[in-house]
Amino acid sequence: MSELKERIKQPQNLSPRIKWLRDWYFEGAKRDWANEYLSFSTGTDWDVLTDETFVYTMYSLMPSIDTTDIATKLAAYPIAIPEDFFTWNLVERRAWFVKECMIKYVPKEILPGDLLAGGRFQLRVSKCLTKEENDEREAFLHGPEGLRQKMYEYHERGFGNCGPTPGHLIPGYEKIVKYGFKHQYEYIEGLYEALTEEEKAGDKGAQLRAMMTAATMPRELAEEYSRVCADLADKAKTESRRAELLQMAQNLKRVPWEGATTFWEAVMSLWMTHFLVLSDENYPGPGDSFGRLDQYLYPYWKKSVDEGMDPEFGKEILKTLWIHCNTVYDAMIRIGNQGITAGYGQLFTFSGMGKDGKDVSNDLTFALFDVIEDMTPMLEPKPSVRLHRNTPEAVMNRVIELISSSQGAPFLINFDERSMAGLLRQAKMTGVQDLINKDNVYDYASVGCLENTMVGNDRSETVNCNLNLIKSLEFALNDGADMVDYYKVDGSIYPKISDGIKTGDPRKFKTFDEFFAAFEVQMRNDVRRMVGMYNQCDIHRTRYTPTPYLSILVKGCAESATDITRGGAELKFVTIEGVTFATTVDSLLAIKYLVYDEKICTMDELITAIADDWEGHELLQARAKNRAPKYGRDDDEADALARRVMDVWSDECWKHKSIASGEQFRGGMLSWNYWITYAPICFATPDGRKRGQFLSNAICPSNGADINGPTANANSVGKALGGKTDGEGDFEGYINYLPNGSSHTMTFSPSMLRDDDHKAKFKAFLQGYIENGGTALQINVLDVDTLIEAQETPEDYKNLLVRVTGYNAYFTSVGKELQNEIIAREMQNKY
């Protein structure tokens, strides 16, 4: 193992300050300081501090909801509230409470050597509900027809899941960095003054007053931190540290209340504005993203460098931001492994297209590449580099260097043309061309894992609904009824429920088109079912969980005097992510091939085989797996079926809006880790998969299906998304059905990048991907562990190419001894 470890990318060029902070961070739970959740309560016996709907999308956490609620409440520190507190409007109660906690109760500490203030901010605090509100909420969630129980069944019978997940948007950070909260405060104050007296007394007035309260929170917090820095400066052991602390105190006197004047101030302003969103939402960080960092911070970078700032010091400031972004994981640090249960995805975007298709990379773009290279491996913040047809050579070369030196990209690669096509299509489909059009779409950025959104006015809700497409296939195969046993959390079995549409006995269907029609009816119905489920979540959110601070940062909320959780944002969408796309498409292809085209079996035989989990039907299973066509091979007919599924999917999703907040639904294909979660739930599928085996991931072909290599794989993905047309398409001929983009992962052997010649070839691959592929690509360059895994489970790695001069082979198709030889060589990277 020691040899293995040596090959893993190590951090580099770290100053003693950053090295210390980074090493200290990775001590994890052993540290004497952590940014753990702090809990504060109103002290009432009905108080509630957690929002269980946050975890409705994570089945594994649902059984511990009550324990978490009780433990959090027990750990909570009661703080004194004004006497008339419960006569206030909820949004004002909440604004006051969060601010009170942050200013008066959360410790203000500066990490050793730190250049940014703001160590602790993870809060789980009172929802500030009255007893009456809370009783009503209890009944809504936990009554006999309560939402929690419904969600259990929705999960357990394999439909999917949904919940009003916070984060996953890009607040208007740029505006704060530029003008400060003062500007926003005055703006909201103006809007408030313009209200009628009646409005002032009502919800609108309360909302704007709450936002004004929230807007003063960063000012007062910065004042506190400024004092702490000044005090520390007095005690500083060295002159240079003293100077730093004095400058930090000075910075905090200005930002984030006023606009930044230097790079250091700009990063300080950004960090405080950002972490207070996490405090406000009581959500540890997922998906709350920074947007185009190299664009809106550039004026400050340039000005400071021109005025004498050493660019290395600028990078040092950014590196402290990196450390802070990772401390979000401290919220639940006692769980272990840095408290990581999933990647948090405070994503930032850099490089990419500007107006008129021109690239807008600048010196800061390259500084960010350096910081990423120096700090990798480290999870946060997650970089997303935007590539397009006119990406300059220098950027491409830097991208390739980082991919090859880090066992895969330490960043996500996002592709502008296809991404922008999706956002423009969204504008067309939902009539918001005034807000998304060719003159501003290039300023999009990504949140969370990779989801594309507009910036500063878009409540993008990208992972709230996750629908398992396989369920619709099950209903189509069984006339709208469950086909197999589904288990409750206590291990008991659901009765076979028939709540799909009665589309008829598929044994009587004469053609594949008849079967597809039945599938389409079921899928549309399952989308409507999802909309119904999500509407319940949306009601809960709009009633009980206002976030007035975040509302300041999203355009539309102040103007409409409506909280972002109640639909205040200018753009408001909610994505239904389709899970198991390729498994579903491959299953349809297998039905077509086995039953209708080649007539290898009857529908009855196929249904029996599936019901038996393929036991005793191994021959048919082998044919389904190996002989039926698959998506991911650049086979036009198979890919056309993928596109057909995409068409129905996207069409049905566009038809709906949530009732409580008016969010527009749209289709996506992200699937997070549900392809693993739903594997044991999903029945054996017609593509030859047994119950329990992994499902397909996001827009990717099924494991091992892409036997024609990476270019064929990428071409299929591009075609499934809509491909290209000779006409205008959605953007320069590109069509994209999924405005949020789609997650595509590809794996390469390190031999593909072994020298400059091969790096140039890999660059050509990426340039081809810009033309033909999807919206976002995550690249894995295989490590030895994975090769060993490929040796043990060859069926999952059929596509792994091994390249040696003059000889091509799929890794899994060469004998074991030779595989060992390749592994040995790979360990020393000696191709």
Partner 1 sequence: MSELTATIIDIQRLSTEDGPGLRTTVFLKGCSLACTWCHNPESISFERQVQWLESNRCIGCGLCIEACPADALSMTENGIQINREVCGGCATCVAVCPTAAMELKGEVWERDALIAELVKDVSYIGKDGGVTFSGGEALMQSEFVTCALKRLQEMGIGTAVDTAGLVPAHALLGALPYTDVLLYDLKIFDREKHIEYTGAPNDLILKNIIAAADYAREHGTPEIWIRTPIIPGATDSDDNINHIGKFIAAYLDDAISRWELCAFNNLCLNKYERLGEEWDFAGISLVHAEEMEHLLDVAKDSGANPDKILWTGSTFVEK
Would you say 257 or 797 has its CB closer to partner 1? Answer: 797
Q: Check residue 353 and report its DSSP letter.
A: B
Which of 342, 489, 619, 676 forms a contact with partner 1 (CB under 8 A)?
619
Would you say 287 or 773 has its CB closer to partner 1? Answer: 773
| Site membership for partner 1, residue 394 (CB under 8 A) | no
| Site membership for partner 1, residue 4 (CB under 8 A) | no
What is the number of alpha carbons within 13 Å of residue 81 lying toward its C-beta?
25
**Separate counts of helices (H) and strands (E) for the chain:** 30, 18
- In three-state secondary structure terms, 27 is coil
Interatomic CA distance for residues 153 and 529, integer angstroms: 13
Would you say 429 or 707 has its CB closer to partner 1? Answer: 707
Least separation in angstroms between residue 685's CB and partner 1 is 17
Would you say 372 or 700 has its CB closer to partner 1? Answer: 700
- In three-state secondary structure terms, 532 is helix
Least separation in angstroms between residue 595's CB and partner 1 is 16
* Number of C-beta neighbours around residue 481 at 10 A: 14
Among positions 651-710, residues that touch partner 1 (CB under 8 A) are 708-710
Dig out the tokens for 396 from the structure.
């491409």
| Site membership for partner 1, residue 815 (CB under 8 A) | yes
Phi then psi for residue 536, to 5 deg, are: -65, -45
Q: What HEC string does 730-785 produce?
A: CECCECCCCCCCEEEEEEECHHHHCCHHHHHHHHHHHHHHHHHCCCEEEEEECCHH
Count of residues binding partner 1 (CB under 8 A)? 48
Integer CA distances (angstroms), 248 to 223, 302, 305, 317, 453, in order = 11, 20, 18, 11, 33
| Site membership for partner 1, residue 803 (CB under 8 A) | yes
| Site membership for partner 1, residue 15 (CB under 8 A) | no
Least separation in angstroms between residue 829's CB and partner 1 is 10
Would you say 227 or 798 has its CB closer to partner 1? Answer: 798
Least separation in angstroms between residue 719's CB and partner 1 is 11
Would you say 569 or 594 has its CB closer to partner 1? Answer: 594
| Site membership for partner 1, residue 618 (CB under 8 A) | yes
| Site membership for partner 1, residue 6 (CB under 8 A) | no
| Site membership for partner 1, residue 772 (CB under 8 A) | yes
| Site membership for partner 1, residue 808 (CB under 8 A) | yes
Which of 115, 248, 537, 712 forms a contact with partner 1 (CB under 8 A)?
712
Dig out the tokens for 291 from the structure.
């947007």
CA 606, distance to chain mean position in Å, is 37
Interatomic CA distance for residues 538 and 558, integer angstroms: 20
- In three-state secondary structure terms, 292 is strand
Interatomic CA distance for residues 36 and 802, integer angstroms: 45
Least separation in angstroms between residue 821's CB and partner 1 is 8
The mark string for 627-646 relative to partner 1 (x by CB under 8 A, - otherwise) is x------x------------
Interatomic CA distance for residues 383 and 365, integer angstroms: 11
Dig out the tokens for 429 from the structure.
């489909």
| Site membership for partner 1, residue 622 (CB under 8 A) | yes
Would you say 23 or 636 has its CB closer to partner 1? Answer: 636
Which of 769, 774, 781, 782 forms a contact with partner 1 (CB under 8 A)?
769
Q: Is the dihedral of CA 211, 217, 222, 227 positive or negative?
A: positive
Which of 752, 779, 782, 790 forms a contact with partner 1 (CB under 8 A)?
752
Which of 79, 220, 768, 783 forms a contact with partner 1 (CB under 8 A)?
768
Q: Check residue 412 and report its DSSP letter.
A: E
Would you say 4 or 497 has its CB closer to partner 1? Answer: 4
| Site membership for partner 1, residue 393 (CB under 8 A) | no
Interatomic CA distance for residues 107 and 627, integer angstroms: 63
Which of 458, 731, 764, 786 forms a contact with partner 1 (CB under 8 A)?
764
Helix-strand-coil percent breakdown of the chain, rounded to 5? 55, 10, 35
| Residues near partner 1 (CB under 8 A) | 618-619, 622-623, 625-627, 634, 708-712, 715, 752, 758, 760-761, 764-765, 767-769, 771-772, 794-795, 801-809, 812-815, 818, 821-822, 824-825, 828, 830-831
